Amino acid sequence: MNQNHNPIDAAVVVLAAGRGTRMKSDLPKVATELLGKPLLQHVLENLRAAGLRRFCIVVGYKREIVEALVPDWPDCKIEFAVQTEQLGTAHALACARPDLADFCGPLLVASGDMPALSPASFRALLDQHNQEGNSSTVLTAHLNDPTGYGRVVRDPGTHQVLRIVEHKDADAEMHRIQEVNTGTYVFTSPAIFEDLKAIGSQNAQNEYYLPDIIALHNQKQLHCGAMMLANATEAHGINSTEELERLAAVLQAS
C-alpha cells in the first residue's frame, strides 16, 4: 500500500453495480477476490490512499453483498446510490446525483473492477484536471492489444481528445488505435450532472455511455484533457476469470 496522501477537496463516485456475467459466478463482479481481497476493496483502499475522503458507491446487482464489502472508515464519508437497472455507465453516474447535491468541485469517477490503479495515478489525474482547468479529464493507457477497450480519438494536429469510441462501435481504422480509455475520469460537479442529460443510447449496446461526455464537451467547446498511464498494467480491469488470473500473476511478480 502506498503511503496515504493528505485529504483532498474532491469526491469520488465508484461504479460497482454490475453483475459481470463473464466471471462464471453469481457474485457481483466487484466482490470477486484478487489475491485474497475483493476487487472493490483494492479500489477503495487505493482511492483513500490517494487522499479521497468522500465516496459515493453506485450499487445495483446484489447490492447487499457489495455494501458489506465497504470498510467503515471513520475519516471518510461513504454513501450508496442505487442503480436499479443497469443502463450504462452514464446512467450509473447520474444515479449518484442526489447524494452529491451539496458537493461542488472535482469529481473523480472510478470503476470498482480496476484494482491495479495506483493512488499516485488517481492523485496525478486530479492534479492535472485542476491545473489545466478542464471540464473533463480521462485516464488513458497505451495497450499493445487494445481489443475490447474504448479507443481515444485525438485531433491529428492539436492532439486534443475529440471523443472515445467503444470497441463495438469502432470501425477498422479506429481499431488500430492503441490508446484506450481506462474508464476513469475527473469532471466538475455539479455541471457534469446537467451534461449527462444530453447523452443518448444510440449505440451497439443501447446503453448510456459515460465516454460520450467527451464528444459532448467538445461540441460545447469545453476543454477535454487526458493523462496516459506510465504503467499500462494499471489499466487492466477484470472482465473474465482469465483476466483475473493474469492480473494476479502480474501483481505477485511485481
H-helix segments, 8-164: 39-49, 63-68, 89-94, 119-132
User: How are the residues of the chain apportioned to helix, strand and coil, as percentages rounded to the nearest 5?
Assistant: 35, 25, 45
| Residue 82 and residue 152 in contact, taking contact as beta carbons nearer than 8 Å | no
- Using a 10 angstrom Cβ sphere, with 0-12 exposed, 13-18 middle and 19 or more buried, the burial of residue 106 is buried
CA distance 174 to 167: 8
159 three-state secondary structure: coil
Choose the catalytic residue: 22, 54, 63, 163: 22
* Helices 39-49 + 119-132 axis angle, to 10: 50
CA distance 66 to 159: 39
Give yes or no: 22 in active site. Answer: yes
Location of C-alpha cell 462501435:
169
| Residues recognised as catalytic | 22
